[in-house]
Amino acid sequence: MGAGWESQLLETGFLAIFLCPLWSLAQVPERCPPSLISIWTLRWLIVRIMLGAGLIKIRGDRCWRDLTCMDYHYETQPVPNPMSYYMHRSPWWFHRFETLSNHFIELIVPFFTFLGRRMCMVNGAVQILFQATLIVSGNLSFLNWLTIVPSLACFDDAALSFLFPSSEGGAKQLVSKIQREEAAGHAPLPSRGMLVRRVVNVALAVLIGYLSVPVVLNLLSSRQVMNTSFDPLRIVNTYGAFGSITKERTEVVFQGTLSTDPQDPAAVWEEYQFMCKPGDVTRRPCLISPYHYRLDWLMWFAAFQTYEQNEWVIQIAGRLLANDSTVLSLIQHNPFQGRGTPRWIRGEHFRYRFSDPWGRSAAQGKWWIRKRLGAYFPPLDLAGLRKYFQSRGWPHPDIY
Ligand SMILES: *[C@@H]1O[C@H](CO)[C@@H](O)[C@H](O)[C@H]1NC(C)=O
């Protein structure tokens, strides 16, 4: 999908390789802690993630500068959760405060990493708290969970040992054993494995430094690009999305009918429901973090473009007409289950708003209030699709 969390997963995974000893398979290698170099590559990652995210915002959209973005974010984010519904109703001054805090956390706090042990830990703690807030207030796939991982590198063993009470004694014993050996004057010479590891770590530092050059230039550039990598292996990437915030939520709703004439005003159009994304207005927003449904996510993008820009939407309509079990498995509710297949499918375009939690609609069980904007794509049947495919010179799947 080319989403930011995918390259971030690649980068975090690559850096994690170097936390482990080169030869040993031991879980907690004695006397072979991760080198400072690999710890710093992870700290450098969290600094870049945050600065990228912060800079693209203040460059991307006025609402980040006049502090109104959070007035929209909860309602218009790709897949809101039940908390988003209530957070959306926070007072205006709280949304201003949230936006300002966001800037502080993304643009100022990352620099704490370079101000000594204590400030580095403050950065780690703030970033983890920030990600936890995002996890609670929306479904942003595993991105926030993944961002916690490099934040952990801001803490050292002494700061984290309280989490592992049983190993604390062991660690102390190990330290005193090493100290005794050193005092006795026969500290062991570094083994060949340790030497190889040092060479590998220095090479890693050089590689990350070299690959970071275009990333830093991009951060400094006034035309910063979002979520991009500059090397084919995606080892060091640039992050940052949501530079501009959509102010209105729109949705594409697939509807089908068993009627033979789609123009017949008496035709009954029934709606397909996706796994998680808003559709039926009475359905509670879902909770899916740390997972996500890729189709739902892509439908969010499709909704503020046209079907000509997202021709796969037409392919999905075709698969629904053809009763394709693979595509039907990607959605939650097929209204024609057990009743045959629809003759026509159409895509309708709606604007969605959260209902007022204390209003009349909410009392009727509605989480959303929607208004039809028009057709997203016109009614299609299998014959029409065949023509559509031919006009585009697309290969003609047997099912049509
Ligand atoms: C549609 O497919 C399902 C299984 O995927 C099957 O049970 C059903 O009978 C099919 N409906 C029609 C009308 O072919």
The whole-chain average pLDDT of the chain stands at 90
Instruction: Render pLDDT for 292-327 as a digit per residue (tens, 0 to 9).
Output: 999 999 999 999 999 999 999 999 999 999 999 999
Instruction: Report angle CA 18, 180, 192 to the nearest 5 degrees.
Output: 35
Residues 6+ apart with CB under 8 A from 28: 167
* 197 burial level (CB within 10 Å; 0-12, 13-18, 19+): buried
Q: What is the pLDDT of residues 19-34, one digit of tens each?
A: 877 666 666 656 667 8
Cα–Cα nearest to 201, from 37, 350, 393, 388: 37
Nearest CA to ligand 1 atom 4: 325
Give the tokens for residue 137.
């207030």
Percent helix, strand and coil across the chain, each to the nearest 5:
50, 10, 35
Helix (H) or strand (E) holding 380: strand 368-380
Is the C-beta atom of 161 inside 6 A of ligand 1?
no
**% the chain with pLDDT above 90:** 71
3-state secondary structure 325-356: HHHHCCEEECCCCCCCCCCEEEEEEEEEEECC
Express as a percent the part of the chain with pLDDT over 70.
90
Q: Looking at ligand 1, which residue's alpha carbon is closest to its atom 2?
A: 323
pLDDT confidence of residue 203? 95
Q: Whole-prediction pTM value?
A: 0.89
Atom of ligand 1 nearest to the CA of 328: 5
User: Which has the minimum average pLDDT: 84-88, 193-197, 341-345?
Assistant: 193-197
Residue 329 Cβ contacting ligand 1 at under 6 Å = no
**Rounded distance from Cα 215 to ligand 1 centre (Å):** 51
Query: Would you list the DSSP string of 38-76?
Result: HHHHHHHHHHHHHHHHHHHHHHH-HHHHTT-THHHHHHH
At residue 253, φ and ψ (nearest 5 deg) are -115, 125
The radius of gyration of the chain from alpha carbons, rounded to an integer in Å, stands at 26
Q: Using CA atoms, how far apart are residues 192 and 202, in angstroms rounded to an integer?
A: 16
Residue 170 banded pLDDT, cuts 50, 70, 90: low
Please say if the pLDDT value at position 64 is more than 60: yes
pLDDT of 48 over the 60 cut:
yes
State how far the alpha carbon of 93 is from the alpha carbons of 96, 263, 270, 400, in Å: 5, 49, 42, 55
pLDDT at 46: 97
d(CA 97, CA 123): 19
